[in-house]
Amino acid sequence: MAGQKKKSKKDKSVEQLNPHAHIFGAGFVVKQRITETLRTNYMPYAMSVIMSRAIPEIDGFKPSHRKILYTMFKMGLLTGSRSKSANIVGRTMQLNPHGDAAIYETMVRLSRGYEALLHPFVDSKGNFGKAYSRDMLWAASRYTEAKLDSISTELFRDIDRETVDFVDNYDGTMKEPTLLPVTFPTVLVNANTGIAVGMASSICSFNLIEVCETVIHLIEDPEHTVADTLKAPDFIAGGQIIYDREMFEEIYSTGRGGFKIRAKYTYDSINNCIDITQLPQTTTIEAVIDKIIDRIKAGVIKEVSDVRDETDKSGLKITIDLKRGTDVARLMQRLFKMTPLEDTFSCNFNVLINGSPQVLGVAQLLKEWLDFRTDCVKRRVAFDLNKAKERLHLLKGLGKILLDIDKAIKIVRNTEEESEVVPNLMIGFQIDEIQAEFVAEIKLRHLNREYILKRLQDIEKLEKDIIEMESILASKAKIRKIIVHEINNVMQKYGKPRCSEIIYAADIETDETPEEVPDYPVNFFFTKEGYFKKVTPLSLRMSGDHKFKDGDSLLISIESTNNKELLFFTNQCQVYKSRGSDFEETKISVLGDYVPAKLDMEPNETAIHMAVTSDYSGYILFFFENGKVAKVDAEAYETKTNRKKLINAYSNKSKVAAIIQIESDCDLVVKSSAGRLLLFNTGAIAPKKTKDTAGVSLMTLKKGQRIVSVRDYEKGEFAKPYRYKTKNLPAAGALLSAEDAGEQLKLSTE
């Protein structure tokens, strides 16, 4: 083309090497601090997830919930017939810029058919799956239908009277509400969970009547004790909630904590089986059955002959067939302990308040909702007040026309131009433009005394209404009275009995019989990097070489049995207690279990030694780099309660060089960084009951020297053992003699 320069060969070669060379900065590597990258790239994403996705707001909804429900409201599905779910999902995409699958899944969880909410907001028809089943999936959106449930009326009441703010949708083509003007505390009535970035929310559901009564009591008495009226959570799945008032008072006051909920069952004596009919909200049928089968395969549960899912249209049912002579109560106690039939619901009442995530107690949360609802009522009354004042203003202008209707007709008839009608009426009757416009728009048939008198009868009523509305806006007590009245109406219309039964911890029978775990010979292997393997003798004979992580090696190898207790000492002076039976059998050709992850150790904490015991006999010796040794009775690590972690397991005054477990006193060889060896008998060290004792001096070391290793003494390994022994401790030890050095060299080459 004319005016364009011909590219040189040099320009063409540059373009071939970097086709984006014409873009400024393309192809250059820019150094940027990782903190700056996180701040500019990751933090906006994190804030978006927290503010606009995972954490519910004071109306009880996440944005995805609110967009679906508002779309259905605008579609007329509050009173009309059901619509295809695919149609609802498609319309919702105008507000929600996500895929149809995510929107449909959200709608499913709000539906009556899914059975996840105490008071579902969507009235569904078709297969919407079940919350209590992992495998019972919902049908595609083209097959199902839905509309808003009757209780959704309370979500949108007065939404068209400026009770809440509206904002543009993501592309600016529509308006959507920032919150819904709910007339009751939905934030506590229906369960809601979400995981954001760096925080989460987990709100359990409560009975509608109990929540409403609690709100009313808090209005009347801000110091009301919530636990007096709000007994315990309530779930659509039912189950039995184990009640502990102190625990629930803690949850109600802080917004954090956990409580136990267990399944409900009946015993069929005719068929000798247990029927599970209600499960905790936190688990599923498949999870329960899988866990029971695992326990049966492990030989822990021997009383069960079969377990199966018999759920049908009548509801949930897990049947457990029993062997003859089974003690049902005792078996159920063990099943509650070993399976998700008893589970813990963890509470974290994290809610967005004015755009800020806050963890609130129940009383604080309800007070925040009261403030929100008070604002909604004020805005509604103010809206009605403005409309009434506008109407009164128009009617007063109409009243002036009543004085001389003929004059009004004459003004209109004698005005030559249409644009002059309103100004002439304003002059003729001393009214403003708005009033004149209203009069000018009256139909000719209505310009009679009867019509005008009927309209003027509303003036007195409007004036009374205006006075009443102004008094409401000026009185906090009257606004609270309106809120109480609305809450009472909600209780009468939608209140229902509890689904979850409350049982007291003191009334629960406990089985103190220890769990029967099969005991059989095994080999324990522990590596320097903290990996553990439990291998049976048969598997060991059939296996090849050990598999290790790069740089790892075997530290401890012990022949033992499955029921022995394991003590894992860590680099942070702690010990974690476990059992051989807690680990799965494996082969030596795999890496094994990573102990810090298996035992849920703290960050940067690693296991450095393993001790095996059954009766806590013998001693644990701790050799420190500073030349000291601590001899601790193994009994010091025995606990009456089932504690999994003990702090201050050994002294932190100096870095530990070696840990040795012995059943009785024996000879050990200690080596220093200077190459000196000390042979001593552990009987020379007095044992201590205190775990974190600093120990006694064993080896005298010069500055910069330290103990590097400790090992068992093999009889005959030294030509002159007395050379390395001493009558008194501490001692410096001796360098390896030429004779012993040669012997050791010979052994190593062999």
- Are 382 and 336 within one domain? no
Confidence band for 353, pLDDT divided at 50, 70 and 90: very high
**213 phi and psi, to 5 degrees?**
-65, -40
Q: Final residue of a domain: which of 177, 200, 223? A: 177
**642 phi and psi, to 5 degrees?**
-85, 60
Q: Final residue of a domain: which of 131, 153, 177? A: 177
Which residue intervals of 129-199 are DSSP H helices?
153-156, 186-189
Helices 362-402 and 421-429 meet at what angle, rounded to 10? 80
> CA-CA distance, 682 to 695, in Å (whole number)?
13
In this model, does residue 489 exceed pLDDT 60? yes
Q: Which amino acid, one-letter code, is at 566?
A: L
Q: What's the order of all strands across the beta sheet hosting 554-561?
A: 554-561, 521-527, 531-535, 593-594
DSSP secondary structure letters along 169-206: -TTSSSEEESS---SS-HHHHS-EEEE-SS-EEEE---
- Are 79 and 144 within one domain? yes
**Residue 714 DSSP SS3:** coil
In this model, does residue 322 exceed pLDDT 80? yes
**Residue 524 DSSP SS3:** strand
Region of poorest pLDDT, from 20-24, 68-72, 143-147, 310-314: 20-24
- Are 434 and 335 within one domain? no
Confidence band for 3, pLDDT divided at 50, 70 and 90: very low
- Are 394 and 332 within one domain? no
Q: Final residue of a domain: which of 287, 317, 340? A: 340
Residue for token pair 């399976």: 339
> CA-CA distance, 93 to 109, in Å (whole number)?
17
Residue ranges making up the domain that contains 418: 378-493
Q: Tell me the mean pLDDT in the region 653-670.
A: 93
- Are 84 and 165 within one domain? yes
Residue for token pair 């018999």: 310
In this model, does residue 605 exceed pLDDT 50? yes
- Are 70 and 149 within one domain? yes
- What is the sign, positive or negative, of the torsion defined by CA atoms of 299, 341, 115, 191? negative
- Are 327 and 433 within one domain? no
Region of poorest pLDDT, from 163-177, 434-448, 704-718: 434-448
Two tokens, residue 205: 């559901």
> CA-CA distance, 489 to 483, in Å (whole number)?
10
- Are 382 and 430 within one domain? yes
Confidence band for 396, pLDDT divided at 50, 70 and 90: confident
**CB-CB neighbours of 142 under 10 Å:** 10
CATH of the domain at 172: 3.90.199.10
Does the pTM surpass 0.75? The reply is: no
In a domain? residue 398 = yes
- Predicted local distance difference test score (pLDDT) of residue 101: 92
In a domain? residue 502 = no
Confidence band for 742, pLDDT divided at 50, 70 and 90: low
In this model, does residue 412 exceed pLDDT 60? yes
In a domain? residue 350 = no
In a domain? residue 489 = yes
- Predicted local distance difference test score (pLDDT) of residue 394: 87
In a domain? residue 423 = yes
Q: What is the dihedral angle through the alpha carbons of 615, 619, 624, 630, rounded to the nearest 10 degrees?
A: 120
CATH of the domain at 324: 3.30.1360.40
DSSP helix, strand, coil percent of the chain (3-state; round to 5): 40, 20, 40
In a domain? residue 209 = no
> CA-CA distance, 26 to 241, in Å (whole number)?
62
In a domain? residue 485 = yes
Residue for token pair 């201050």: 648
Confidence band for 441, pLDDT divided at 50, 70 and 90: confident
CA-based nearest residue to 215, from 486, 487, 494: 487
Is 143 catalytic? The answer is yes
Contacts with 356 (C-beta within 8 Å, 6 or more apart), sequence order: none
192-232 per-position pLDDT tens digit: 998 888 889 999 999 999 999 999 999 999 999 999 999 99
- Are 334 and 408 within one domain? no
pLDDT > 90 fraction of the chain, expressed in percent and rounded: 64
* C-alpha triplet 300, 302, 303: angle, nearest 5°: 130
Two tokens, residue 538: 């048969």
- Predicted local distance difference test score (pLDDT) of residue 6: 53
378-390 per-position pLDDT tens digit: 999 999 999 999 9
Residue 61's Cβ-side half-sphere holds a number of Cα atoms within 13 Å equal to 24
| Cis before 730 (ω within 30) | yes
- Predicted local distance difference test score (pLDDT) of residue 47: 85
Which residue has better confidence, 499 or 419? 499
- Are 333 and 401 within one domain? no
In this model, does residue 506 exceed pLDDT 80? no
Confidence band for 512, pLDDT divided at 50, 70 and 90: low
Average pLDDT, the chain: 89
Q: What's the DSSP call for residue 159?
A: G
- Predicted local distance difference test score (pLDDT) of residue 336: 92
- Are 77 and 163 within one domain? yes
49-58 per-position pLDDT tens digit: 888 888 999 9
- Are 334 and 398 within one domain? no
In a domain? residue 19 = no
Structurally, the chain folds into a number of domains equal to 3
Most confident of 416-420, 481-485, 560-564, 741-745: 481-485
Q: Which of 42, 143, 170, 520 is catalytic?
A: 143
Q: What's the DSSP call for residue 313?
A: T
Confidence band for 26, pLDDT divided at 50, 70 and 90: low
Q: Tell me the mean pLDDT in the region 254-271.
A: 93
- Predicted local distance difference test score (pLDDT) of residue 515: 56
Confidence band for 747, pLDDT divided at 50, 70 and 90: very low
CA-based nearest residue to 351, from 217, 196, 233, 209: 196
In this model, does residue 451 exceed pLDDT 90? no
CATH of the domain at 452: 1.10.268.10
97-107 per-position pLDDT tens digit: 888 999 999 99
